Amino acid sequence: MKKSERAKIVKIILDKKYPKTPIPLNHSDNFTLLIAVLLSAQCTDERVNKVTPRLFKIGSNPVEMSKISLNEIYEIIKPCGLGPQKSKAIFNLSKILINEYEGKVPNNFSDLERLPGVGHKTASVVMSQGFGVPAFPVDTHIHRLAQRWGLTNGKNVTKTEEDLKKIFPEDSWNKLHLQIIFWGREYCTAKTCYRLECKICTTCYPNRKKAFIHKKP
């Protein structure tokens, strides 16, 4: 089966299972989305959603956030992990947004990726979910599934993003990356499927007998 054929199977199954794709991270605007995505690094969305209500109650915009002490931010977000780095990033990027962007989240990749704690994946999520710009955020989970489904050679997340963008229509990217996340959590989890159990894996590789070995990103 060709890669393009597997891609069609993936899209058909995901569109049928997830016709609607709610954004997993609770937020009210692009600033709170940016902070939530930043906090989600190496942390579950569920935990982020438990932490952010308390944080956003006292810092729902850059001006408010910049007035909170660094230590207070840290104490609130500590359950998300990487507390020292994330609290500094939140505090510093809030000041940058005030001083350089009139308190608004920039709507382009280059400016977003200049902000503390904001890498390409985080910027891609904000561009996709916040501004509606076609993007394909790829984290280790999507990277793993793309390998299992034979959509990438698995060298790294950058290459995986390039491969997925080539094989899927641009107007599907924003929805598709969420569909892949939902499917991975529900049917093709990190410690179970290995291209042997879920419907996508078994349809794309009906004759596979041995568990698939991933390449690390």
Per-residue pLDDT, averaged over 34-41, amounts to 98
Per-residue pLDDT, averaged over 182-187, amounts to 96
Q: Is residue 214 very low, low, confident or very high in pLDDT (cuts 50, 70, 90)?
A: confident
Per-residue pLDDT, averaged over 6-27, amounts to 97
Tokens for 110?
Answer: 């280059």
CA atoms 101, 102, 108, 109: torsion sign: positive
CA distance 133 to 170: 10
- Each domain of the chain, given as residue ranges in start order, spans 3-21+136-204, 30-130
Catalytic residue among 3, 57, 111, 139, which?
Answer: 139
Domain 30-130, classified CATH 1.10.340.30, yes or no = yes
Catalytic residue among 50, 121, 165, 166, which?
Answer: 121
CA distance 3 to 151: 6
* C-beta separation of 35 from 89 below 8 A: no
163 assigned to active site: no
Q: Is residue 190 very low, low, confident or very high in pLDDT (cuts 50, 70, 90)?
A: confident
Model pLDDT for residues 97-153, shown as the tens digit of each residue: 999 999 999 999 999 999 999 999 999 999 999 999 999 999 989 999 999 999 998
194, pLDDT greater than 90: no
CA distance 31 to 60: 8
CA distance 28 to 189: 29
Distances (CA, A) of 131 to 27, 34, 39, 50: 14, 11, 19, 24
CA distance 96 to 115: 8
Tokens for 178?
Answer: 């969420």
216, pLDDT greater than 70: no
217, pLDDT greater than 70: no
CATH class of 3-21+136-204: mainly alpha
191 assigned to active site: no
Model pLDDT for residues 56-111, shown as the tens digit of each residue: 999 999 999 999 999 999 999 999 999 999 999 999 999 999 999 999 999 999 99
Q: What is the pTM of this model?
A: 0.94
Main-chain dihedrals φ then ψ at residue 8, nearest 5 degrees: -65, -40
What is the pLDDT, as a whole number, of residue 209? 86
